[in-house]
Amino acid sequence: MPSQRTMDMTRGVIWKQLLFFALPLLAGNIFQQFYNTVDSIVVGNYVGANALGAVTSVGSAINTLIGFFMGLSTGASVVISQFFGAKSLGSMRKAIHTALVTTILFSLVIGVVGYLIAPTLLHFMKTPKEVYPDALTYLRIYFSGILGLMLYNMGSAILNAVGDSRRPLFFLVLSSILNIFLDLFFVIKLHLGVAGVAYATILSQFISDILILLLLFHTKECYRITWKEMRIDVPILKRIFYIGIPAGVQSAITAFSNVFVQSYINAFGAASTSGWGAYGRVDSFVILPLQSIGLASTTFVGQNAGAGNVERIKKGIRTSLMMAVSFTLVLCSIVYIRAPQVVSLFNKDAAVLAYGTLFIRLNMPFDFLCCSNQIHAGALRGMGNAKTPMFIMLGSFVLFRQIYLFIVSHLTTSIYPIAWGYPAGWLVCSILMNIYFSHSGWEKKVTEQRITE
């Protein structure tokens, strides 16, 4: 059944499969980050520091609303990969069509809700008055075009589940290049400011969405979608929700907790907001190898869990961890040394440069802490256990981090301990995740739950 377009990870050399599967994901994630990063660079250099703060400060608000859907795509990818690994094609096709129909419905709801509550989110984050008008404009245009982003991500999740991470990359490269040209055209030529980069983003996302849907409709592979099969299979939807809802709740609530973090940073002024935004954009690139390896390990574990390959899962997790730590340490070291030059790409204002450099050098030395919690969480989801990673990450990234920030903000007026809120949560999460994974007895569960036709 597997073809040159898919990858059967239940046999073969593990490190090669993880690497070759993760590399297109990495490249795709890099280009996907270009959407927001190019937006930031263009407005930061051609509009101003406040426009940079507007575009970069809304990430938590956006992720709060789309985070739940991202969990749904994770659940769909795991279920599809398990059926694929078990060679259960009929169930796999039902899962694919169920996921697509559900995506359309979710997109409509999230787009409307996001547009309506955008002012409330910005006020809640204590967005500086200099930044607020542009931030509101960007948010509302972004949510108006959210359908393109969500359909692309679900289509990509479907292809990733069967081992095809290359073609989603090709489509994303094309749309990312288009986004760059549209950014420059709308901002420099038409003088649309923040609204221009928002329009460029949603138009580019619709292009990638159209391309991936055309592929899924016209492919001759086993995962081809057809109009007559486009309906929701309730038992499979429940299975997707069983895995996807915990992951989605985790993503949404974690993103919402970052709204609190943003509010603490915003309290130090517009320059701090812009500097934090520049750090966030840079860090989002640095952790991409880790995230890509984590996604690869989820698919790897999902396929091998479907086939009941316990020993192969163990080897895959160890290999994923070694790869993730190595890439993360190398990239963090480079960015730490060149921090001022990196921040200057976004804006050359002295205060923005100072804050951005400070945030990079306070946080990035601790990025490696994310490797353990992300790889182990991805592995657990691949086995169908999404609830435990949800509880551990919510406890670490939301409960612990908010208690920490509340305490330190009342003990000192320094921005240093506020900036360390992220690493503190990463450390707690990694400790708890390792303890659970070592004592969960997942090997027995995988053997018992092996999927058969």
In percent, the amount of the chain with pLDDT more than 90 equals: 12
DSSP alpha helix (H) spans, 47-58 = 49-57
What is the model's pLDDT at position 36? Answer: 66
Q: Distance between CA atoms of 263 and 278, rounded to whole angstroms?
A: 16
Structure tokens at 260: 């609190």
pTM listed for this prediction: 0.65
Banded pLDDT at 333 (limits 50, 70, 90): very high
Task: Say if CB 421 and CB 359 are below 8 A apart.
Answer: no
Q: Is residue 6 part of a domain?
A: no
> Tell me, what's the pLDDT at 14?
86
Position 448 confidence tier, pLDDT thresholds 50, 70, 90:
low
On the question of pLDDT at 42 being above 70, the answer is yes
Q: What mean pLDDT, rounded, does the chain reach? A: 83
343 located within any domain: yes
**Residues 263-312 pLDDT 10s:** 888 888 888 888 888 888 888 888 888 888 888 888 888 888 877 788 88
Average pLDDT of span 343-369? 89
Please check whether residue 443 lies inside any domain of the structure. yes
Q: What is the pLDDT of residue 5?
A: 55
CA distance 428 to 258: 16
Query: How far, in Å, CA of 301 to CA of 310, rounded?
Result: 9
- Name the pLDDT band for 165 (thresholds 50, 70, 90): low
Would you say residue 7 lies in a domain? no
How many structural domains are present in the chain? 1
Distance separating alpha carbons of residues 122 and 136, to the nearest angstrom: 7
Domain assignment present for 81: yes
What range defines the domain where residue 267 resides? 14-448
- Whether 118 is in a domain gets the answer yes
Tens of pLDDT along 99-134? 899 889 988 888 898 899 888 888 877 787 888 888
Q: What's the distance, Cα to Cα, between the start and end of the chain in Å?
A: 14
Query: What pLDDT, in 10s, does the model give residues 382-440?
Result: 887 778 888 898 888 888 988 998 899 889 888 888 888 889 989 999 999 989 988 88
pLDDT digits (tens, 9 = 90+) for 57-115: 777 777 777 777 777 887 888 888 878 877 788 888 898 999 899 889 988 888 898 89
453 in a structural domain: no
**Cβ atoms 223, 28 nearer than 8 A:** no
Give the C-alpha separation, 148 to 210, whole Å: 8
User: What are residue 413's phi and psi, to 5 degrees?
Assistant: -100, 5
Tell whether 59 is covered by a domain. Answer: yes
How much is the pLDDT for 179? Answer: 84
